[in-house]
Structure 1
């Protein structure tokens, strides 16, 4: 989860700032399994400050 230099713990804090209540263990499990919905993905991107996703670079 070092993408954008954000730890799981920091992601929990940043999600809380936008009103998303998640536990670090839940986030770690979701991301390691790769099973989460698009809403959670968008919440994470918002929380870490991503404003644009360039699909050509994926």
Structure 2
């Protein structure tokens, strides 16, 4: 069964990691564009994975992400946003 909160949380976290942006950095960047969030509020939202679509788009815009690819995945796979980029798999599915 798909955990949608987990899926969106992983997608946002992967975009932050690819750009080297911490939650503290994100708070600063969001505040610069007029979105008032603290590191603690961002930590909480991302940890739960239950944030609004508005917050999701604000975060992606703030970090300069203009395109994402939403892939079907198993819980042991990474989500990649840039097509054609090779990412190291942390888990093996036996193949």
After TM superposition, the structure 1 = structure 2 runs for residues 32-43 of structure 1, keeping only pairs within 5 Å, are 32-43=47-58
Q: Does 1:25 align with 2:21?
A: no
* Gapped regions of structure 1 (runs ≥ 5): none
How does the TM-score come out when normalised to structure 1? 0.86
* Gapped regions of structure 2 (runs ≥ 5): 1-12, 72-79, 82-95
- The match for 2:24 among 9, 23, 34 is 9
Q: Which has the higher contact order (CA 8 A, sep 6+)?
A: 1
The structure richer in helix per residue is 1
Deviation at 1:18, TM superposition (A): 1.0
Count of residue pairs brought into register by the alignment: 58
How does the TM-score come out when normalised to structure 2? 0.55
Larger gyration radius, structure 1 or structure 2: 2
